[in-house]
């Protein structure tokens, strides 16, 4: 599998796990060798999860990856459960 195909699959699987529409996640880009970045798009729709909720849920899913769907999908299973989710300082 090519890197771009893997990153697209990772995006789709993360959106499925949270669950949110895949278009709420920007393109996943590799950052350094084993880290990646993704933009979570905001919404004005009050019926959808806000960006903070998505970050919080994703962090819980990742940190508990051995017992969540993170470990079940073929792309997300490679996420490091111990590292968790890190939010870039320019987005806080």
Per residue in 34-67, pLDDT (tens digit) is 788 899 999 999 999 999 999 999 999 999 999 9
Instruction: Note whether residue 92 is domain-resident.
Output: no
Nearest to 70 by CA among 11, 13, 8: 13
What pLDDT, on a 0 to 100 scale, did the predictor assign at position 64? 95
Checking if the pLDDT of 91 tops 70, the result is: no
Average pLDDT value for the chain: 90
pTM more than 0.85: yes
What pLDDT, on a 0 to 100 scale, did the predictor assign at position 30? 84
The more confident residue out of 88 and 67 is 67
Range of the domain at 7: 3-87
Number of domains in the chain: 1
**92 vs 77: CA distance, rounded Å:** 27
């Amino acid at each position: 599998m090519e890197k771009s195909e893997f990153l697209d699959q990772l995006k789709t699987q993360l959106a499925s796990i949270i669950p949110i529409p895949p278009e709420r996640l920007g393109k996943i880009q590799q950052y350094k060798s084993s880290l990646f970045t993704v933009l979570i798009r905001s919404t004005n729709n009050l019926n959808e999860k806000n960006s903070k909720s998505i970050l919080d849920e994703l962090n819980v899913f990742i940190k508990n990856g051995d017992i969540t769907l993170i470990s079940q999908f073929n792309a997300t299973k490679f996420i490091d459960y111990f590292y968790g989710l890190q939010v870039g300082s320019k987005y806080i």
